[in-house]
Amino acid sequence: MPVWYLVRRRKGATIHPKAPPPWPHVAAIAAASVVLSVFVGVHSTVQHRALERTVAVQADLVAVHVWNVDQHSAERMLSLFAQSADFETLSITHPDQGAFASHTAATSGSWTAVSRDFSWPISHDGHVIGTLHGRRRDTAPALYLGAWLALCTALTVVFAALHFRDQAATRRRALEDRTRVYQDVFENSSDLMLVSTDDGVVQHANRAFAGAVGHANLAGIQVADLIFEDDREHWERGIQATLDDGESGDLQLRLIDGVYLEGSLKRGGIDDGPVSLHGIFRNVTQRRVVDQMKRDFLAVVSHEMRTPLNGVLGMLQLVIGTELTTDQRDRLVGLLRAGDPKH
List Cα–Cα distances, 220 to 200, 223, 226, 258, in angstroms: 9, 9, 12, 22
What is the distance between the alpha carbons of residues 32 and 140, in angstroms, rounded to a whole number?
19
- pLDDT higher at 291 or 3: 291
**Mean pLDDT on 72-79:** 76
* Residue-level pLDDT at 86: 67
pLDDT at 5: 37
Q: For residue 227, which of 238, 235, 237, 215 has the smallest C-alpha distance?
A: 235
- For residue 230, pLDDT over 70 is answered with yes
Q: Is the pLDDT of residue 43 over 60?
A: yes
The predicted model gives 79-95 an average pLDDT of: 73
Q: What is the pLDDT of residue 15?
A: 44
- DSSP symbols for 1-30: --HHHHHHHHTT----TTSPPSHHHHHHHH
> What pLDDT is recorded for position 326?
85
Average pLDDT, the chain: 76
**In the predicted structure, residue 30 carries a pLDDT above the cut 80:** no
Least confident of 148-152, 193-197, 322-326, 333-337: 148-152
- Band of residue 268 on the pLDDT scale cut at 50, 70, 90: confident
Determine how many CB atoms are found less than 10 A away from the CB of residue 268. Answer: 15
DSSP letter, residue 105: -
Q: Is the pTM of this model over 0.75?
A: no
Report phi then psi at 322, rounded to 5: -90, 180
% of the chain surpassing 90 pLDDT: 2
Q: Is 117 helix (H, G, I), strand (E, B) or coil?
A: strand
The pLDDT of residue 105 = 64
Once rounded to an integer, what is the mean pLDDT over residues 275-285? 88
**Mean pLDDT score, 20-34:** 64
- Please state the φ and ψ torsions of residue 126, each to the nearest 5 degrees: 80, 0
- Sequence-ordered list of residues with C-beta below 8 angstroms from that of 219, at least 6 positions apart, any chain: 202, 203, 204, 205
Highest mean pLDDT: which of 71-80, 117-126, 261-270, 315-324? 261-270
Residue 241 pLDDT greater than 80, yes or no: yes
Candidates 275, 212, 219; CA nearest to 243 is 275
For residue 111, what pLDDT band results from cuts at 50, 70 and 90? very low
The Cα 137–Cα 52 span in angstroms is 15
281 Cβ neighbours under 8 A, 6+ residues apart = 191, 192, 193, 194, 209, 251, 253, 261, 262, 263
Q: What pLDDT is recorded for position 138?
A: 63
User: What Å distances lie between residue 5 and 9, 12, 22, 91, 189, CA to CA?
Assistant: 6, 11, 11, 65, 36
pLDDT bin (cut points 50, 70, 90) of residue 7 is very low
Average pLDDT rounded to a whole number, residues 194-212: 88
Using 50, 70 and 90 to split pLDDT, how confident is the model at 234?
A: confident
Statement: residue 71 has pLDDT above 70: yes
- Predicted pLDDT of residue 325: 85
Q: Predicted confidence band at 97 (pLDDT cuts at 50, 70, 90)?
A: low
More confident residue, 299 or 243: 243
Whether the per-residue pLDDT at 281 is higher than 60: the answer is yes
